[in-house]
């Protein structure tokens, strides 16, 4: 069961907290974004209402409808948690959610379209843009000097590859596809 369209991954469930079904949530972003949510989508369980949230930092404790024992909470350990994009709280100007990047065009430094962002992955120390291009998908580090995020009205409008981005980061290296016969020599 994958997450429904129009959701953003918040993080994953760590394990029980207390004996009444509370479970800690490892939050990918700011833990404060979780506090006002009415419900979350839990992998393999579907949409669950939030009965209560304890703002314990760095991992808030969720109390979910239907989860009232430590054992029931432990069964959710490791599952991914998502929120409906429309239910996420507004951010300060100049800040954005990762779902704001989905669907944006990815342009090279010259302004030519290379592909489209389809997702953002948490890869540990650095987040990765998942970019669909004509020949498949590529992973692009979401950091300078690889990408720039120009904005309009405080939200990203496109993803622009930096001038120092290595060739071949999206799709095959131009040198590999220029002329396959050019490098061959007769013996």
Same domain, yes or no: 72 and 114: no
Residue 27 lies in a domain: yes
When divided into structural domains, the chain yields a total of: 2
Would you say 61 and 22 are in contact if contact means Cβ atoms under 8 Å apart?
yes
Would you say 34 and 76 are in contact if contact means Cβ atoms under 8 Å apart?
no
Residue 92 lies in a domain: no
Q: What is the pLDDT of residue 44?
A: 94
Q: What is the pLDDT of residue 96?
A: 83
Residue 78 domain boundaries: 7-87
Q: What is the pLDDT of residue 5?
A: 85
Would you say 113 and 106 are in contact if contact means Cβ atoms under 8 Å apart?
yes
Residue 179 lies in a domain: no
Residue 128 lies in a domain: yes
Average pLDDT by stretches of 10, the chain with 187 residues: 82 94 90 90 96 89 96 96 92 82 90 90 82 89 87 85 81 45 45
């Amino acid at each position: 069961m994958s997450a429904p369209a129009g959701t953003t991954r918040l993080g994953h469930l760590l394990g029980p907290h207390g004996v009444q079904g509370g479970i800690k949530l490892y939050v990918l972003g700011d833990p404060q974004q979780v506090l006002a949510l009415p419900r979350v989508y839990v992998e393999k369980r579907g949409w669950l209402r939030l009965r209560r949230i304890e703002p314990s930092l760095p991992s808030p404790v969720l109390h979910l409808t239907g989860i009232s024992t430590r054992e029931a909470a432990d069964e959710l350990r490791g599952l991914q948690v998502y929120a409906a994009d429309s239910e996420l709280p507004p951010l300060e100007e100049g800040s954005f959610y990762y779902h704001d990047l989905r669907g944006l065009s990815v342009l090279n430094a010259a302004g030519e379209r290379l592909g489209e962002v389809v997702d953002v992955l948490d890869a540990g120390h650095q987040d990765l843009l998942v970019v669909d291009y004509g020949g498949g998908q590529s992973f692009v580090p979401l950091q300078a000097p690889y990408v720039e995020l120009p904005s309009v009205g405080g939200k990203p409008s496109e993803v622009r590859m930096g001038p120092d981005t290595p060739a071949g980061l999206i799709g095959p290296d131009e040198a590999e596809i220029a002329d396959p016969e050019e490098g061959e020599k007769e013996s």
